[in-house]
Chain A
């Protein structure tokens, strides 16, 4: 029998915003249901409605049954008994779920005592057990810590501990790992799996990461514009999608196992929940749309194999065996001329030599005194050749953004050298610096924050032109808008009137205004939905090839990096751990950190996820104010753990520097025991080559 039964759930907010329009699903014991969909598709609102946590002005109808008991319309007192006991929820941001003034242990114990009659000391003991279960080291000690003393990953685990405190029958996880780094995400997902085995609960897993769903879920529900459009077993959905939206979604994600060729974007944007199209909500973006699609919204109808699809042409798709790449137009990206020249013969556009950036660590509110140093970037070297894309990857806090800022400032670094287009930043005067800025531009991560909300788009793009004394701005702005795939008629609009993907294109247009040679990209697609992201990635690739640009590119999404970059540098705690061509680093990673990082990435491929072995890292990133002696990675290094006492000496005493690997031209690792292994099985596509 199913634990949770949701039937025809709808949620309407004031102003005619139909956030959820008829969601039905069931979750059984021990089953994991994955819910995917773009931002704003109603995933969170659905689960909040189930928990009864929506604001009062929301109108909810339909039915939500837990063990056959109706939850909608239940009075608050009874609902509180259900909430936290039978159903628990895990949120994206674990900090807001804890009260800052109580210790973690107290709060977990409190959660136990709310629903179970238990003595205080017994509850405290149970809390420690739970913290131990979710893999918090030294749970006795850590239980006495306050929430802000925990790192993001630890907080998320504590949150899981709290959620499973009362053996709930159902866990609802809303983007539980989105805010975490991949290696931490892998740990937390592992904990979730353990927790599920321990409690036998059903899980509703909401995320936009198709890789996470592939690894966790048994069944998948795809949502679009507030409605489920396809539902089925994870294998069916991933290998045999029968609804154009699902097909497009799967075709639009870059893969870390290296499929080549342009990504397949879904054109357009999801409809606004207050202005839905008359027929199929996906019709405006659907390449298979026929006139009949506009007549009425196709209902979610049963389809062979216990699945449900909401598309009038699903049988035709099945019959012809169509895939996303068949249905959606695959863009053509012109090849680059520059790459034909061997790398050694191309000029170097950017060179970093042992660059250092330390920040003082201050303490005290009135009298600030220096109590230490944050070694944000501690001696990194790399170079970018003309027409090349170098990606900088690593977990948050490893110094990626600091590196970019130091380069962009064009000021003398604290140590080492930064050479941009042959000019040493330490030797620039004011005019030379300004002149060099023409050739060096940046695209930021958050497309909203990077555009002044009070300026129309034409002024935003014209700003660099005017600053460098160009007069013919109007024509150039129109040209730039066209270049990034926007209509020049929209030049007088304000940034708020554009969607995320369009805003990012505006940011790119602005960066290209002065025809730079080197473009620095700080997480340019991480704030975008997958289907939108694909379009921006293609645009970046195309611009690079047609304009002969070089990119320095920061990202934490290793799949995007694999797709876009030629070379990659893996950073750990302010140092480079491994650097080389994308093929070398991804296919034969030699540094234990790179190996762990790669193995932690969830692949959007259920079959592969099931058979894959993960290298799980212990613990969290050490503080950059107090890096370990010798090799900075040794506190978490799985290889170090296996070494004999004598072999370990060198890791503790001597900091490894990047050394070229024997049999490779462009591949180096900073490890005393570097050894190439394969962590990601190459996809079929790759093997054919």
Chain B
């Protein structure tokens, strides 16, 4: 019933509606598009290097004859998955750490918040840049973990401060007086009541992670060849952006569309879940 109200409010919001439609189209493109195109992303057409878009290679070809349509969609799939995983891990971690710190207080709080502060002052980009090439040969999931590890801190502080006020709520006290263990109270009464915040945060984290991935991959610290992501494609394409614009334009355009549509949904969700926070 509440979720229905929220959905109704979400779709009454024009921007959120556009965002949702755009995102659905983009996801369909990423996952169904490859079946429609004539080439596979690993295929190489040795008769067409760096050819402009035409009827055969819809989005042109790259330096070694890859079909840009297939490769870009493949890259987009990876970017979407990375975005989702990072957001899931980061928001989950933020919820757990923040809720435990806020609920238990005392030294638990001190230790956890000290960790948060430490991670916040560390130059995350630099650290990922240093570590990630060393993980070469390992799976790209390590990269996801690294990205997530530097995304959750701010949210966990927000979660902590909201937990501080939830802790004094009567239904939480009631649970304590019933003799329910404290970790259970956190997962049953505290975290679910932060769900609005967490949903919004997770949504915005997806776009943040996609951009983060692209930025790191651009400099060669992220996804490693032969795997592709929007970031690596943009990096390659940007080298020849003036002479062969299609190499750059398609991945970059998709990245912008993807991030924009997710952010529109995120903003719409914020208004729908939390009508008080006016924008």
Contact = CB atoms under 8 A, between A and B. Distances in A.
Interface of A: 408, 433-434, 437-438, 440-442, 444-446, 449-454, 463-464, 467-468, 494, 496-497, 507, 510, 514
A252 to B, nearest CB: 26
B193 A449 contact: no
B164 interface: no
Contact of B170 (A434, A441, A446): A446
B1 interface: yes
Given A442-B177, A445-B170, A507-B174, 20 more contacts: A437-B178, A441-B178, A446-B170, A449-B169, A449-B170, A450-B170, A450-B171, A450-B174, A451-B171, A452-B171, A452-B188, A463-B178, A463-B180, A464-B178, A464-B180, A468-B178, A468-B179, A494-B2, A510-B174, A514-B178
B189 interface: yes
Interface residues of B, number: 17
B193 A454 contact: yes
Contacts of A463: 175, 178, 180
A169 B175 CA distance: 53
A467 B171 contact: no
A7 B2 CA distance: 40
Contacts of A434: 179
Contacts of A496: 2
B192 interface: yes
Interface centre among A434, A451, A452, by most chain B C-beta atoms within 10 angstroms, is A452
Interface in B177-229: 177-180, 188-189, 192-193, 195
A494 B170 CA distance: 17
Interface string B138-170: 000000000000000000000000000000011
A181 to B, nearest CB: 22
B55 to A, nearest CB: 55
Given A452-B189, A454-B192, A441 B175 contact: no
A467 B180 contact: yes
B179 A433 contact: yes
A408 B176 CA distance: 9
B174 A467 contact: no
The 7 A-B residue pairs with the shortest CB-CB distance in the complex, in nearest-first order = A437-B179, A450-B170, A464-B178, A434-B179, A444-B170, A449-B170, A452-B171
A442 B180 contact: no
A444 B178 contact: no
13 contacts: A408-B173, A408-B177, A440-B177, A444-B170, A446-B170, A449-B171, A450-B170, A452-B188, A454-B193, A463-B180, A467-B180, A494-B1, A514-B178
A442 B179 contact: no
A441 B180 contact: no
A314 B171 CA distance: 45
Given A452-B193, A494-B1, A467 B170 contact: no
Contact of B178 (A453, A454, A467): A467
A584 B3 CA distance: 55
Contacts of B189: 452
A618 to B, nearest CB: 34
A524 to B, nearest CB: 12
A445 B189 CA distance: 19
Nearest to A437: B179
Nearest to B189: A452
A467 B179 contact: yes
A434 B184 CA distance: 15
Nearest to A450: B170
Contacts of A433: 179
Contact of A437 (B169, B173, B177): B177
A290 B261 CA distance: 60
Contacts of B169: 449
B193 A442 contact: no
Contacts of B177: 408, 437, 440-442
Contacts of A453: 193
B1 A442 contact: no
A437 to B, nearest CB: 4
Contacts of A446: 170
Contacts of A450: 170-171, 174
B193 to A, nearest CB: 6
A494 B173 CA distance: 19
A437 B180 CA distance: 10
B221 to A, nearest CB: 39
Nearest to A514: B178
A451 B195 CA distance: 17
Nearest to B1: A494
Nearest to A522: B170
Nearest to B193: A454
Contacts of B192: 452, 454
B247 to A, nearest CB: 49
B180 to A, nearest CB: 5
A135 B177 CA distance: 44
Nearest to A443: B174
Contacts of A444: 170, 173-174
Contacts of B171: 449-452
Nearest to B184: A467
Contacts of B175: 463
